[in-house]
Structure 1
Amino acid sequence: MAGPAAALTPEPPVQPEPAFRAAGPADVSAVVALVESAYRGEASRAGWTTEADLLDGQRTDEAGVAEVISRPDSVLLLAESGGDLLACCHIERRPDAAYFGMFSVRPGLQGAGLGRTVLEYAERHAREQWGIDRMEMTVIEQRADLIAWYERRGYRRSGEYQPFPYGDERFGIPLRPDLRFERLVKAL
């Protein structure tokens, strides 16, 4: 006999917190693949962070990722579960703030809270490990949905802009002529 308990829908399983670690040279290829899958090409359309309508070509390359990993006052954080790379981000200690970038979540996992977990971990790392009280980043101005996501997490638009590096295909091939970056900031 089915009672009221039978009508209850089981809750989805709780996802374990990812394990975080700093990337090393052996992680370069996996990081490049993750970043490219989150932002470029058809695979990126499975998630909401795609830039495929704004940019073609590459988002990063092995030389760029290796340089970030080797830079002093810089850490490329990896979020893993069961040995699988789920997400990554780069933070760099600067004189007045930590810079946040190269933020990528596997497209099929976007929208489930993993990105928020990674961002919060990066903010804690900057505050607790480096004594930094402010995080900043640059986001393509045309990414209104992404900027709104950061605003919901306490970032504010600065009104300060940087030009997109047109002509430098290391950052992609622009599909429109009006791209530029806006600086977002948050007190930690």
Structure 2
Amino acid sequence: DILEGQRTDPRGVLEVIESPGSRLLVAERDGELIACCQLEHRDDAAYFGMFAVQPGAQGSGLGKQVLAAAERIAGETWDVREMHMTVITVREELIAWYERRGYRRTGKLHPFPYGDERFGIPQRADLEFELLIKPLG
């Protein structure tokens, strides 16, 4: 009810895979992709994005495991002090989920890129991103 359309494409995923400061983490079960996320090294922080868990696997604790693995890998790989992410502000339940895992809202808002279908086709006119941060280590 917030976004429709394609959120990424094979070219965008390939750019993540080939970028030296980026990692694409995947979780598989019985040979099937069930979750993924992107990590990007940004100075003394890592950025967490492209997070998805197959709907049938949601609520199983898999998302918590992927997030924890991403935090550990970012810390070990890049010796970063913080994990950053941006979340659409109207996703209150998702933001609360991240807050329960140690992320804090910063109040730093960024406009939603209306007209750029790489981010989906918005179904509302009030979308914006907020930066969430978690100290690592």
Give unpaired runs (5+ residues) of structure 1: 1-52
> Please, what TM-score do these two structures have when normalized by structure 1?
0.71
Aligned-pair distance for 1:81? 2.4
User: 1:111 aligned to 2:59?
Assistant: yes
Q: Find the partner of 1:157 among 91, 96, 105.
A: 105
The offset of 1:120, in angstroms, is: 0.2
Identify which of 180, 183, 186 aligns with 2:128.
Answer: 180
SS of alignment partner, residue 123 of structure 1: helix
2:50 is matched by which residue type in structure 1? M
Give the corresponding residue for 1:68. Answer: 16
1:102 maps to which residue? 50
Tell me the TM-score normalised to structure 2 length. Answer: 0.96
Residue 141 of structure 1, aligned match among 82, 89, 93 = 89
The residue correspondences of 1:21-36 to structure 2 (distance < 5 A) are none
Aligned to 1:12: none
Distance between the aligned counterparts of 1:81 and 1:130, measured in 2? 28
Sequence identity percentage: 65
- In proportion to residue count, which structure has more strand? 2
Displacement of 1:82 after TM fit? Answer: 2.5
RMSD between aligned residues:
0.8
C-alpha distance in 2 between matches for 1:150 and 1:156: 8
User: Runs in 1 of length 4+ with deviation above 2 angstroms?
Assistant: none
SS in 2 for 1:178: coil
Count how many residue pairs are aligned between Structure 1 and Structure 2. 136
SS across alignment from 1:72: coil
**1:139 positional shift:** 0.3
Distance in 2 (CA, whole Å) between partners of 1:132 and 1:170 is 28
